[in-house]
Amino acid sequence: MPPPSLRLVVDTDALAANWRALDALSGKARAGAAIKADCYGLGVATCLPALRDAGCAQFFVAHWSEVSAALAHAPPAQIAVLHGPIAAAEAAYARTVGVLPVINSLHQARVWNEAGGGACHLMVDTGINRIGIAPHEAGDPAIAALEIDLLMSHLASADEDSAMNASQLAAFREVAAQLAHQRLSLANSAGIALGPDYAFDVTRPGLALYGGVPRAELAGPIRQVARIEAAVIQRRRLAAGDSVGYNATFTATQPTEVAAVSLGYADGFLRCRGPGAAMMLNGAHLPILGKVSMDMVVIDCSAAPNLAPGDWLEVPFHLPDAAQQSVLSQYELLTTIGARLRR
């Protein structure tokens, strides 16, 4: 099979360095790692071993379908399933393989207890209003019957200097005083930057591991992890008046050298990333012209007179900058990476 015309390069040394930096910033707490959504799009098989070898010993997936990939690289007791057991089959699976469910409701607590129970984690909702038991449910018999390892909550606005952070912290401490548990966990990536009061025993970084910078305090220690490269398919010359792409949103005002590049919205390079953006070649900016297509973009390559089919271009993917340039969040930039790049 011919080689691909797209490349996703994951710098596992940078990934490991990011985990070590976040672990150090967590103070007395130990940093875990959110590896849900295939390590935010960068691949469990690539990322989890690097995180494990760096010293990480607590991994968080969202779906039960993500467990088997994680089990190939980490022991089951280190894997937590954030969505918890909705049905008896999920609880039975957790007990069979040894991963720990995160209990999010009285229903899930009953499902887990009826399956035989055992060690689990518990999520308490302190204000984000997604999943998690309400604080007033902490005294329910189904919760009292749980063998809670990690008592958790999730910050809603840690990436902002919001009064909600302190409010959630206070609510979490209040609930923690009511429930028997082994460890406490509140801070996500941005929460780590809020300081030691939020760290407790385990922090749960996700975005920052993979090169995202949710708060300015993390800009220094966090390194770029993912790089994307795409190959040139064709080079051509436009005459003045020629238009490019769907709906002819770009029209050349003078003769212009352009190239088609093997990258499109099917690869996660969405149309909103086209306007004002550029590909890179040895530091030169090659502006995108017209709309991003499903499988290609067209660039102005006037600044690269020797660019030829098969040459590789860098797709700007420093997450804070790419997010600012587009309407996408840093999370979306990572998790929408297309299947062709992941392969």
Query: Active-site positions?
Result: 36, 246
CA 72 to chain centre: 20
Helix or strand holding residue 278 (H, E): strand 278-281
CA 70 to chain centre: 15
Burial class from Cβ neighbours inside 10 Å (0-12, 13-18, 19+) for residue 258 reads: buried
* 88: CB partners within 8 A, 6+ apart: 111, 114, 115
Burial class from Cβ neighbours inside 10 Å (0-12, 13-18, 19+) for residue 98 reads: middle
Distance set, CA 225 to CA 10, 54, 116, 270 (Å): 6, 15, 41, 20
Please tell me the distance from the alpha carbon of residue 63 to that of residue 341, in angstroms, as a whole number: 22
Give the end-to-end CA distance of the chain in Å, rounded to a whole number.
Answer: 13
Please tell me the distance from the alpha carbon of residue 126 to that of residue 70, in angstroms, as a whole number: 29
Burial class from Cβ neighbours inside 10 Å (0-12, 13-18, 19+) for residue 192 reads: buried
Amino acid, single-letter form, for residue 168: Q
Contact 275, 292 (CB under 8 A): no
Closest CA to 128 of 162, 157, 106: 157
Amino acid, single-letter form, for residue 192: I
